[in-house]
Amino acid sequence: MKEVSKKGNHRNSERFSTGIGVLMATLGSAVGLGNIWKFPYLTGSNGGAAFLIVYIICTILVGFPILVAEHMLGRKGRGDAVSTFENVAPKSAWWVIGASGILAAFLIMAFYTEVAGWVFAYVFKSFGSGLLSTDPEVTSSIFASLVSNPVQSLIWQWIVLAVVGAIIMLGVAKGIEGTTKRLLPILALLLIIIGIRSITLPGAGQGLSFLFKPDFSKITAPVILTAMGLAFFKLSIGMGCMLTYGSYYSEDQNIPKNAARVVAADLTVSILAGIAIFPAVFSFGFEPAAGTQLLFITIPSVFASMPLGGVFMVAFFLLTAFAAIGAMISLVEVVVAFLVNRTKLGRKKSTLITVVSMAVVGSLAALSNSTMANVTVFGKTFFDLYDYVSSNILLPVGGLMIAIFATWVWGWPRFKEALSNNGALANEGVLKAVYNILKFVSPVLVAIILLTGLNIVHI
């Protein structure tokens, strides 16, 4: 639903009904393949514990304050990614952040839907017994046969997009709140069960050392950029997605507290996924730096070594699919909310146009392991390119701008007023700390990490 005020601004009039609804919906966007697939694969490829530490530092000093700022501006602006900036900063160019967010949503969806497609396919594969193996060669070849088949890759991606499109057409409240609320605690519980099995495997200690005992020699400027990119991607920030969520907040909800809970819960799920995967990687002789396939080749081996493994495996991939759907809903929402506000298309047509365009852009990523495996840009397949450009460039640049806008432009008096709910919350100390980090620390860190990680400046 939208209202167009007299000034012609587009304002969103939907609100989440309860505090827990907001928390769960926000988590529905944050928790997804980023935790279960991307976090373990990047940690594995970038040296383990030291990467984890850099990632956590980026989450606290960059991710958390920007998440707060996005929710704050989203609640003030009450619009889509672009009109929020037009509402809070009329007659300025800040809306460009929203526009770059829409581009980022496309690029992320292009590869995310492919990985989600692998998850969907694995739900079905889990019903057979073929996947249940502790032999790296067996699990790798099953994965390879899926991704090297162009027809299967495309069809699974389209199925994913069709499912997400259909959910969005049902509307914001039902679509977003309903699907994501109930399933996250079950996913966390399942990860704990898998983690317990994994750490009791013979030789599991090596995996735990890999995840928790840092070797800082592994840290280079590009590795730090990857960790920061993951922090942005994980919290769905730097691209207007969390602005859209902020627009659904009611005036009395405590934004900083909610954001802290989101960060803590999100980090917990990622670490649980790491504990489920790395001990098994070392116990069965997988390669921690296996890359994007890591989850798919190693997790079946944990299930193969536990009672009722087949049943747990179906549940695991199903819950992962749901978590991915929650995140994708929020990504598609960024584009759909914009189209609904800006055009006369209406919700259904906007959604349809969005998912069909995403299928077109995404097909290049879907074919990156088969037909288009040899087509590269800057040495990267389209799958890797979409991921790199969105996580490591667009989101950090967007986040940098949001941090600058919220502090240097928007300023302390309005920041304090908005986040203390007009003085109703006694949280000035916390706000002051978040504000100063957002003003002086986050932008400097993001700028340095971007410039060195992209090799523009050498330190």
Residue 238 beta carbon to ligand PFF: minimum distance, rounded to whole angstroms: 8
Q: Is 67 in the site for ligand PFF (CB under 6 A)?
A: no
Task: Enumerate the β-bridge partners of residue 377.
Answer: 380
Q: Which stretch binds ligand PFF (CB under 6 A): 26-34, 246-254, 293-301, 305-313?
A: 26-34
Query: In the set 34, 40, 274, 443, which binds ligand PFF (CB under 6 A)?
Result: 34
Q: Is 369 in the site for ligand PFF (CB under 6 A)?
A: no
Residue 338 beta carbon to ligand PFF: minimum distance, rounded to whole angstroms: 13
Backbone torsions φ then ψ of 12, nearest 5 degrees: -90, 135
Residues 70-109 that bind ligand PFF (CB under 6 A): 108
Q: Which stretch binds ligand PFF (CB under 6 A): 65-73, 91-99, 170-178, 234-242?
A: 234-242
Residue 215 beta carbon to ligand PFF: minimum distance, rounded to whole angstroms: 26
Count of residues in contact with ligand PFF, rule CB under 6 A: 15
Give whichever of 35 and 368 is closer to ligand PFF, judged by the CB atom: 35
Residue 30 beta carbon to ligand PFF: minimum distance, rounded to whole angstroms: 5
Residues 105-144 that bind ligand PFF (CB under 6 A): 108
Q: Is 273 in the site for ligand PFF (CB under 6 A)?
A: no
Q: Is 10 in the site for ligand PFF (CB under 6 A)?
A: no
Q: Is 32 in the site for ligand PFF (CB under 6 A)?
A: yes
Residue 443 beta carbon to ligand PFF: minimum distance, rounded to whole angstroms: 20
Query: In the set 331, 355, 359, 400, which binds ligand PFF (CB under 6 A)?
Result: 331
Decide: residue 198, CB within 10 A, 0-12 exposed, 13-18 middle, 19+ buried: buried
Q: Which stretch binds ligand PFF (CB under 6 A): 12-20, 146-154, 170-178, 230-238?
A: 230-238
Q: Is 303 in the site for ligand PFF (CB under 6 A)?
A: no
Residue 5 beta carbon to ligand PFF: minimum distance, rounded to whole angstroms: 26
Query: In the set 239, 297, 332, 389, which binds ligand PFF (CB under 6 A)?
Result: 239
- Three-class HEC string of the chain: CEEECCCCCEEECCCCCCHHHHHHHHHHHHCCHHHHHHHHHHHHHCCCHHHHHHHHHHHHHHHHHHHHHHHHHHHHHCCCHHHHHHHHCCCCCCHHHHHHHHHHHHHHHHHHHHHHHHHHHHHHHCCCCCCCCCCHHHHHHHHHHHHCCHHHHHHHHHHHHHHHHHHHHCCHHHHHHHHHHCCHHHHHHHHHHHHHHHHCCCCHHHHHHHHHCCCHHHCCHHHHHHHHHHHHHHHCCCCCHHHHHHCCCCCCCCHHHHHHHHHHHHHHHHHHHHHHHHHHHHHHCCCCCCHHHHHHHHHHHHHHCCCCHHHHHHHHHHHHHHHHHHHHHHHHHHHHHHHHHHCCCHHHHHHHHHHHHHHHHHHHHHHHHCCCCCCCECCECHHHHHHHHHHHHHHHHHHHHHHHHHHHHCCHHHHHHHHCCCCCCCCHHHHHHHHHHHHHHHHHHHHHHHHHHCCCCCC
Q: Among all residues, whose Cβ is closest to ligand PFF?
A: 34
Query: In the set 241, 259, 277, 366, which binds ligand PFF (CB under 6 A)?
Result: 241
Give whichever of 16 and 106 is closer to ligand PFF, judged by the CB atom: 106
Q: Is 233 in the site for ligand PFF (CB under 6 A)?
A: yes
Give whichever of 24 and 204 is closer to ligand PFF, judged by the CB atom: 24
Give whichever of 191 and 239 is closer to ligand PFF, judged by the CB atom: 239
Q: Is 327 in the site for ligand PFF (CB under 6 A)?
A: yes
Signed CA dihedral, 141, 154, 311, 205: sign only: positive
Q: Is 29 in the site for ligand PFF (CB under 6 A)?
A: yes
**Under the rule (CB under 6 A), what is the footprint of ligand PFF?**
29-30, 32-35, 108, 233-234, 236, 239, 241, 327, 330-331
